[in-house]
């Protein structure tokens, strides 16, 4: 090296930094790849085991009433899961959205912070505890008017799922409400529109896509929950039942029960049901992402 | 934008309305039940026929006899089903519960021993010793003595039992207690006995599954589950000294050996006297348990009466190795008499 020339090669401390940088980057990339690989392996192994059981009967028939006969399908579980998630959404969506509106539009900063904190605590609650809570509240005791209580029901199960969905819906709605540009609100006020009308006609429609995203993600989460249903909606019959005051089957519990059986055909059904559930969650999550993208674009907040 | 919001609300309302309407239409009345996995295949076969006859559906959940008794006690279902009669504690927890025998079958002693002959003979003493863990190899002289000429392998025995509260466990331990005094004092008769050896599995299908997966295993399971899963089962020696397989005629022979029915319908037909020379010794009645006062009293009465009569028909029962209840007329009469106690609220 000629004296006075500046070397462009890193040396000493610089080289060490470069090395550390590479190692850290490599590890991060490896971790990211690993996460994807795990997902791929799960989907592939469940799919390859279950695909053989998937046919039309699988979706439209209940378990066979003939002990020595065919395998039947999981129609009661599909209908049951639909009912459970439907009830849960009906409870969690309005409650969650109203909570979010209160926190971001009306509440004082300190109260808003408190509510956010407690919603996060609720979000981290063990789901089995929520199941027991609802069992004590709506299964063990008689609930007047609703025609439920004293027995397990889709309403009770849906209520338990709603408790799980509520913080997810509320928190994600808060995030999108925060994204609504303040100048929209100010423009509305400037035109003499009252506060509640501004919320209803300007803020909510603008954040519609975001709210839908949060709800969809919460639905995907609730559809896969097993523990809250064990105490609230587990003693179910073998026939398709659309009545939400009855206890109904659900996909996660069907997976659990079928996988314990001796019958290899039922094992395959359990894999197939798991595959259907994974696909459902996957599709809803992807739809949610798309919706979120669209609403961001509309708000001019594209990243 | 507002339009889209109202469309969403309208859509949700429409779906809800449709669901409620469908619910109201498809199920005016539903009878719910839970319990025994032993009787589950039979109830599953009955369900479509009952729906056709009376226009209401029966939703039965095979959660095990113990859980079924708990469910009817806590009013979670309209009826419970158990292969074990209510014990004193259970009866006092549910004072207005009545039990009605509604089916009759047997517990098979099923095994999975590669290379074993299709016929294995066992007696109560040997079975109890196997489940106590004192006989632990298939080439044990006690087993060979019962199977002259059979070449049983040098293979560890794995006893398989029910881990959940089960009427099949009750039936099996009831039998073992009646043939072996050591069993009676050490383990006793119970829906959830404390087995000193082996592995547990949940539900009849769980036990059948574990047996078919485990070489050298032996367990007890309803005959229908053993047949369905292609598991061999043993001929068991009765008091008359005959080695018999569980079959309709052998179960009927056990049922006819008794002439009295107690007021609470608690029937024990295990290990019947010598005079019943052709009786399979591990037979059992299985019960439906209901509250005397029930919101669905008329439907329950109709359903149970149907089960006691037409439900015993060979297109339902015989196929699943359930013998006719009318085998012993006294039991049928007692069942029909008890049925009348179910009254509306």
Q: Is the pLDDT of residue A284 over 80?
A: yes
Give which of A67, A89, A198, A295 to mutate to test B binding, by max B Cβ within 10 Å: A67
Instruction: Report yes or no: A79 and A240 within 8 Å, Cβ to Cβ.
Output: yes
pTM over 0.90: no
pLDDT score at B25: 44
Q: For chain A, percent helix, then strand, then coil, each to nearest 5?
A: 70, 0, 25
Interstrand relation of B199-201 and B158-162 (parallel, antiparallel or unpaired): parallel
Strand order in the sheet with B243-244: B121-122, B235-237, B243-244
ipTM here: 0.72
Q: Is the pLDDT of residue A289 over 90?
A: no
Q: Is the pLDDT of residue A299 over 70?
A: no
Cβ of A263 and B63 within 8 Å? no
Q: Is the pLDDT of residue A25 over 70?
A: yes
Cβ of B32 and A151 within 8 Å? yes
Distances (CA, A) of B280 to A131, B208, B243, B266, B319: 45, 21, 8, 19, 18
Per-residue pLDDT tens digits for A154-207:
999 999 999 999 999 999 999 889 888 889 899 999 999 999 999 998 898 888
- Region for B24 from its dihedrals, namely left if φ exceeds 0, alpha if ψ lies in -120 to 50, beta otherwise: alpha
- A105: Cβ contacts below 8 Å, ≥ 6 apart: A177, A195, A199, A203
User: Rounded mean pLDDT of chain B?
Assistant: 88
Cβ of A246 and B32 within 8 Å? yes
User: Residue A245: its chain B contacts at CB < 8 A?
Assistant: 23
Closest to A153 measured CA to CA, from A101, A212, A204, A84:
A84
pLDDT score at B24: 45
Average the pLDDT over each of A151-160, A293-302, B55-64, B193-202 and give the range with the smallest value: A293-302
Q: Does A204 lie at the interface with B, CB-CB under 8 angstroms?
A: yes
- In the predicted model, what is the mean pLDDT of residues A273-281? 92
Q: Is the pLDDT of residue B100 over 70?
A: yes
Instruction: Report yes or no: B33 and B58 within 8 Å, Cβ to Cβ.
Output: yes
- In the predicted model, what is the mean pLDDT of residues A198-226? 89
Beta bridge partners of B158: B217
Cβ of A238 and B47 within 8 Å? yes
- In the predicted model, what is the mean pLDDT of residues B142-167? 91
Backbone angles phi and psi of B62, in degrees to 5: -80, 90
Cβ of A242 and B19 within 8 Å? yes
Beta bridge partners of B159: B218
| Residue B65: half-sphere exposure toward Cβ, Cα within 13 Å | 27
pLDDT score at B14: 57
pLDDT score at A45: 93
pLDDT > 90 in chain B, percent: 59
Q: Band the pLDDT of A58: cuts 50, 70, 90.
A: confident
For chain B, list the strands marked E by DSSP.
30-35, 57-62, 79-82, 97-112, 121-122, 158-162, 199-201, 217-222, 232-233, 235-237, 243-244, 283-291
Cβ of A239 and B47 within 8 Å? yes
Per-residue pLDDT tens digits for B258-285:
888 898 999 999 999 989 899 999 999 9
Instruction: Report yes or no: B64 and B286 within 8 Å, Cβ to Cβ.
Output: no
User: Residue B15: its chain A contacts at CB < 8 A?
Assistant: 86
Q: Is the pLDDT of residue A11 over 80?
A: no
Instruction: Report yes or no: B38 and B105 within 8 Å, Cβ to Cβ.
Output: yes
Interstrand relation of B121-122 and B97-112 (parallel, antiparallel or unpaired): unpaired
Distance between CA atoms of residues A222 and A228, nearest Å: 10
- In the predicted model, what is the mean pLDDT of residues B13-35? 62
Radius of gyration of chain A (CA): 25
Backbone angles phi and psi of B43, in degrees to 5: -60, -40
Average the pLDDT over each of A26-35, A149-158, B131-140 and give the range with the smallest value: A149-158
Residues 49 through 78 of chain A touching chain B, CB cutoff 8 Å: 63-68
């Amino acid at each position: 090296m000629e004296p006075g020339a500046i070397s462009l090669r890193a040396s000493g401390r610089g080289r060490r930094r470069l090395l550390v940088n590479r190692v850290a980057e490599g590890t991060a990339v490896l971790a990211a790849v690993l996460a994807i690989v795990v997902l791929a392996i799960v989907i592939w192994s469940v799919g390859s085991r279950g695909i053989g059981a998937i046919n039309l009967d699988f979706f439209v028939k209940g378990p066979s009433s003939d002990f020595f006969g065919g395998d039947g399908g999981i129609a009661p579980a599909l209908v049951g899961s639909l009912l459970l998630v439907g009830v849960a959404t009906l409870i969690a969506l309005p409650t969650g959205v109203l909570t979010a509106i209160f926190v971001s539009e009306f509440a004082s900063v300190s109260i808003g912070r408190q509510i956010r904190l407690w919603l996060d605590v609720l979000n981290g609650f063990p789901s089995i505890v929520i199941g027991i809570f609802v069992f004590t509240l709506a299964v063990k005791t008689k609930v007047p008017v609703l025609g439920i209580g004293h027995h397990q029901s889709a309403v009770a199960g849906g209520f338990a799922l709603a408790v799980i969905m509520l913080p997810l819906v509320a928190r994600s709605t808060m995030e999108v409400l925060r994204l609504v540009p303040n100048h929209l609100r100010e423009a509305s006020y400037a035109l003499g529109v009252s506060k509640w009308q501004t919320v209803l006609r300007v803020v909510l429609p603008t954040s519609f896509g975001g709210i839908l995203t949060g709800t969809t993600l919460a639905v995907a989460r609730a559809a896969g929950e097993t523990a809250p249903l064990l105490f609230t909606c587990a003693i179910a019959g073998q026939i398709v039942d659309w009545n939400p005051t009855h206890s109904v089957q659900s996909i996660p519990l069907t997976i659990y029960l079928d996988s314990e059986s001796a019958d290899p055909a039922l094992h395959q059904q359990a894999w197939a049901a798991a595959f259907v559930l994974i696909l459902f969650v996957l599709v809803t999550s992807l739809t949610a992402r798309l919706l979120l993208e669209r609403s961001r674009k509309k708000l001019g907040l594209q990243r | 934008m507002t339009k889209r919001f109202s469309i969403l609300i309208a859509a949700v309302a429409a779906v809800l309305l449709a669901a409620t309407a469908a619910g109201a239409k498809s199920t005016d009345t539903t009878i719910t039940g839970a319990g025994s996995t032993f009787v589950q295949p039979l109830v599953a076969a009955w369900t479509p026929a009952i729906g056709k006859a009376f226009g209401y559906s029966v939703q039965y959940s095979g959660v095990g006899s113990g859980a079924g008794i708990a469910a009817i006690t806590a009013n979670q279902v309209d009826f419970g089903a158990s292969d074990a009669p209510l014990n004193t504690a259970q009866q006092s927890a549910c004072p207005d519960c009545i039990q009605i025998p509604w089916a009759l079958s047997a517990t098979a002693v099923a095994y999975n021993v590669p290379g074993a002959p299709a016929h294995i003979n066992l007696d109560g003493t040997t079975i109890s010793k196997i489940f106590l863990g004192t006989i632990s190899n298939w080439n044990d002289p006690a087993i060979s003595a019962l199977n002259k000429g059979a070449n049983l392998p040098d293979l560890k025995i794995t006893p398989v039992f029910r881990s959940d509260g089960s009427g099949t466990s009750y039936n099996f331990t009831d039998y073992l207690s009646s043939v072996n005094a050591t069993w009676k004092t050490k383990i006793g008769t119970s829906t959830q006995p404390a087995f000193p050896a082996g592995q547990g599995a949940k539900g009849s299908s769980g036990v059948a599954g574990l047996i078919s997966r485990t070489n050298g295993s032996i367990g007890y399971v309803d005959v229908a589950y053993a047949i369905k899963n292609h598991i061999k089962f043993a001929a068991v020696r009765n008091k008359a000294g005959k080695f018999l397989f569980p079959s309709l005629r052998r179960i009927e022979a056990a049922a006819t050996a008794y002439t009295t029915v107690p007021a609470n319908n608690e029937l024990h037909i295990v290990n019947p006297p010598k005079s019943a020379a052709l009786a399979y010794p591990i037979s059992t009645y299985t019960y439906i348990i209901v509250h005397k006062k029930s919101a669905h009293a008329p439907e329950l009465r109709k359903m149970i009466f149907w089960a006691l009569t037409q439900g015993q028909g060979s297109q339902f029962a015989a196929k699943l190795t359930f013998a006719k209840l009318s085998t012993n007329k006294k039991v049928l009469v007692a069942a029909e008499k008890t049925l009348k106690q179910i009254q509306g609220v």
